[in-house]
Amino acid sequence: MPIVALREILTDAFEHRYGVAAFNIVNNLTMRAVLDAAACAKAPVIIQTSVKTVRWEGAAILANAFREMAAGLAVPVSLHLDHCPDRKVISECIACGWNSVLFDGSALNVQENTAQTGAVVAEAHAAGVDVEGELEAIGRVEEGPGEADQPYSVEDAVSFIQSTKVDCFAPAIGNAHGLYHSEPSLDGDRVTAIVEKVGVPIALHGGTGMSQAQFDDLISRGCAKVNISTALKIAYIDAHKDYIGRFPHVYDPPELARFVHGAVQDMALDHIRRLGGEGRAW
């Protein structure tokens, strides 16, 4: 069975210092394209869903599709819930068979975030599900690239990780979600300081548009999970536009799907390779 715990995937990546791509898929087609890219690269991969995608597609439908598609694969894969501040959605995904969840308590004060994240860890671990934690908000590029707040010290982050017992931690290091207007200035020392103190794998958010040098540096410091969302959305939507532009009079949905699948698979393969994941499957 190729479906494995997030912890298992991240432990290997963290130990051997490569990055596992975590793609925010939006439907069955993109899930399949990412899984096909992982199989092609013989790489572990994380299928990630936003809360919006869970609400639109339905948790049970997504989880069943993931199980069906993963069953025929020979690479380790894991299903993860991205940024979720809603405990009901967390519980629903745990019940439906997600392998891990990110409880996003960044809008809460640190005491409340610590208490709620700790409660999510207890609930999730009892069900064999792993947890990513987040202390400070990781914003969107539109809010100011490279200017994400870091209101908490490294010691605060360490104490949050130790008290909550999260399996993976997502720090704000100047990264943001969306398309960077220019190369972001990223605080790699914050990653190193956290990793040296607690040895927990780090989740790098806002992966779209980071340079190869930034990936290499941050992965060498302990970023084992690298989130890619905007690049998938662009590949998916641009491929539709491209197909319709080329074949304006063709009304053949499976052919369109095949074309879009190819574009998303190529994007995923490229990121898997750039993060050093190729050939890492066990």
Given the rule CB under 6 A, which residues bind ligand 13P?
24, 82-83, 177-178, 205-208, 227-231
Nearest distance, CB of residue 60 and ligand 13P, angstroms: 23
Task: Count how many residues are written for the chain.
Answer: 282
Rg (CA), the chain: 18
Beta pairing partners, 203: 225
Task: Indicate the residue among 207 and 222 with the shorter CB distance to ligand 13P.
Answer: 207
Give Cβ neighbours of residue 32 (< 8 Å, ≥ 6 apart): 69, 261
Between 54 and 243, name the residue whose CB sits nearer to ligand 13P: 54
Taken in order 121, 149, 47, 219, the sign of the CA dihedral is negative
Is beta strand 130-134 parallel, antiparallel or unpaired with respect to 20-24?
A: unpaired
Whether 224 and 20 have beta carbons less than 8 Å apart is answered as: yes
Nearer to ligand 13P, 63 or 210 (CB): 210
Query: Which C-beta is closer to ligand 13P: that of 140 or that of 261?
Result: 140
CB of 30 to ligand 13P, least distance (A): 14
Which is the catalytic residue, given 12, 36, 82, 104? 82
Tokens standing for residue 225: 């999970």
The question of whether 82 is a catalytic residue gets the answer: yes
Taking the complex as a whole, how short is the minimal distance between the CB of residue 71 and ligand 13P, in angstroms?
A: 26
Residues 6+ apart with CB under 8 A from 109: none
In the complex, minimum distance from the CB of residue 254 to ligand 13P, in angstroms, rounded to a whole number = 28
For helices 154-164 and 188-198, the axis angle rounded to 10 degrees is 40
Measured from the CB atom, is 100 or 230 closer to ligand 13P?
A: 230
Distance in Å, CB of 177 to ligand 13P, minimum: 4
Exposed / middle / buried, residue 148 (Cβ in 10 Å: 0-12, 13-18, 19+) = buried
Q: How does DSSP classify residue 141?
A: G
Q: Are 11 and 221 in contact (CB under 8 A)?
A: no
Active site residues: 82
